């Protein structure tokens, strides 16, 4: 880790994301660890729940704006806001300013938030230029690029650059890797047959890489992929990239049972 920022710690607010909060707290702990090791002072405002995507993607702008105002307020004093999800970061960075485009009072504040918000791996690579040390993960990993992160925030090289520093880890690219995994938030519940079919295809392509682990930067996709792999009886492990980077892979992977000896 770089030590240069110790003198004047960067104040970072962590936007946990609702999925990390409820489904996989370890992702948020990993994000905190990574940021703290990089010399940041991490704050987790209590006044946060979700970025509002379920409402936004259902066409409910009014509800989304209400949620967004809470997020904007909660992080108004942080230098940076870091999000361990490309899709939620995209909401804060691109969707909030668009929502408040015509709102004199909030447009500026939404833009301020957008300007200081970063997806986790992007922040680590592009803002902090971190160098990991003494992290290892003995595995062959397939990286799944999530759609919002990839297309709206150009997240592609950042996680790979970090993973290259992990000892024992080798990366495999998935064929047609930029294809969606079929999650799509509420889509996966409203159109489960379609969603299930698409994630089936994705898992087949992941299996072709002969990797033993699937990594990604968005829990939505990872829950979807892990759920499908579990159903198929596959023993592929699924982790959020932050967990691997922070060395927090001793416990069960996403969707995996706690092993008896550890429990």
Which residues inside 143-162 make contact with other proteins, applying CB under 8 A?
147-148, 151-152
Half-sphere exposure of residue 105, counting CA atoms within 13 Å on the CB side? 4
Which of 101, 168, 192, 235: binder of other proteins (CB under 8 A)? 192
- Would you say 40 or 166 has its CB closer to other proteins? 40
Rounded to an integer, what distance in angstroms lies between the CA atom of residue 89 and that of residue 83?
Answer: 6
Q: How far apart are CA 92 and CA 83, in angstroms?
A: 9
Query: Residue 37 CB, nearest distance to other proteins (Å)?
Result: 17
End-to-end CA distance of the chain: 32
Instruction: Give 5 or 49: the residue with its C-beta nearer to other proteins.
Output: 49
Q: Residue 212 class from Cβ within 10 Å (0-12 exposed, 13-18 middle, 19+ buried)?
A: middle
Query: Sign of torsion, CA 244 139 181 156?
Result: positive
Considering the complex, state which of residue 170 and residue 178 has its C-beta at the smaller distance from other proteins: 178
| Residue 191 interacting with other proteins (CB under 8 A) | yes
From the CB of 236, what's the least distance to other proteins, in Å? 13
- Rounded to whole angstroms, the Cα distance separating 104 from 120 reads 30
Contact range with other proteins by CB under 8 A, out of 103-111, 163-171, 190-198, 207-215: 190-198
Query: Binding pattern to other proteins, positions 51-90, x when CB under 8 A?
Result: -x-xxxxxxxx-xx-xx--x---x----------------
**Is-contact 242 34, C-beta < 8 A?**
yes
Site for other proteins in 164-183 (CB under 8 A): 176, 178-180, 182-183
Give the separation between CA 55 and CA 72, rounded to whole angstroms: 17
Residue 207 touching other proteins (CB under 8 A): no
| Residue 74, helix vs strand vs coil | helix
Write out the two tokens for 141: 């990993």
Q: Is 200 in the site for other proteins (CB under 8 A)?
A: yes
Which of the residues 105 through 124 are near other proteins (CB under 8 A)? none
Q: Please, are residues 17 and 71 in contact by the beta-carbon 8 Å criterion?
A: no
Task: In whole angstroms, give the CA distance from residue 157 to residue 108.
Answer: 31
Name residues contacting other proteins, limited to 221-260 (CB under 8 A): 223-224, 226-228, 230-231, 252, 254-258
Q: How far is the CB of 91 from other proteins (least distance, A)?
A: 11
Query: What distance in Å separates the CA atoms of residue 121 and residue 109, rounded to the nearest whole number?
Result: 24
Select the span of 124-132, 161-169, 218-226, 241-249 touching other proteins (CB under 8 A): 218-226
CB of 167 to other proteins, least distance (A): 27
The site that binds other proteins (CB under 8 A) totals a number of residues, namely 72
Residue 106 Cβ vs other proteins, minimum distance, rounded to whole Å: 15
């Amino acid at each position: 880790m770089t030590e240069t920022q110790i003198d004047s710690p960067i104040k970072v607010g962590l936007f946990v994301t609702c999925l990390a909060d409820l489904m996989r707290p370890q992702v948020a702990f990993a994000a905190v660890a990574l940021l703290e090791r990089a010399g940041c002072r991490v704050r987790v405002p209590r006044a946060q729940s979700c970025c509002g995507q379920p409402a936004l993607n259902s066409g409910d702008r009014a509800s989304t704006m209400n949620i967004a105002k809470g997020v904007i307020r909660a992080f108004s004093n942080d230098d940076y806001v870091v999000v361990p999800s490309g899709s939620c970061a995209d909401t804060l960075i691109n969707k909030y300013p668009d929502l408040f485009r015509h709102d004199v009072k909030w447009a500026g504040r939404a833009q301020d938030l957008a300007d200081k918000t970063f997806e986790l791996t992007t922040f680590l690579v592009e803002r902090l230029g971190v160098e990991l040390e003494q992290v290892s993960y003995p595995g062959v990993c397939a990286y799944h690029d999530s759609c919002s992160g990839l297309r709206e925030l150009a997240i592609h090289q950042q996680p790979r650059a970090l993973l290259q520093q992990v000892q024992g880890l080798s990366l495999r690219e998935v064929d047609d890797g930029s294809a969606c995994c079929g999650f799509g938030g509420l889509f996966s519940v409203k159109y489960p047959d379609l969603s299930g079919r698409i994630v089936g295809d994705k898992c087949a392509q992941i299996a072709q890489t002969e990797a033993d682990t699937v990594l990604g930067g968005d829990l939505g996709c990872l829950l979807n992929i892990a759920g499908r792999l579990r159903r198929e009886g596959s023993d592929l492990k699924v982790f959020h990239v932050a967990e691997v980077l922070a060395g927090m892979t001793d416990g069960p992977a996403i969707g995996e049972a706690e092993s008896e000896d550890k429990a």
